[in-house]
Amino acid sequence: MADNYNADMSKGLVTILDSGISQFFRRVIANRLGLSEFFDYQHYPMLEMAEASAEELRNNLLKMQKKVSNF
């Protein structure tokens, strides 16, 4: 899981769990955003934030695809 995103300069963390924890990464992300009480998608789906994140990821993917095609 990346702790920040800056195209080619991204940094990430890896977590290995001994047993499954429901919504583990959502809990981690919510905590990092200072929204730890809002991790549960059933009660707090955060659709606007999810849509904005998906749009940003799509835009970054398009940028990377253009870089690769120009390579």
Q: What's the pLDDT score for residue 8?
A: 67
Whole-number Å distance between alpha carbons of 66 and 13: 27
pLDDT, one tens digit for every residue, the chain (71 residues):
555 556 666 666 778 888 989 999 889 889 998 999 999 999 999 899 889 999 999 999 999 999 889 87
Q: What's the pLDDT score for residue 2?
A: 53
Backbone phi and psi for residue 2, each to the nearest 5 degrees, phi listed first? -75, 140
Alpha-carbon distances of 9 from 4, 12, 28, 40, rounded to whole Å: 9, 10, 21, 30
pTM check: above 0.85? no
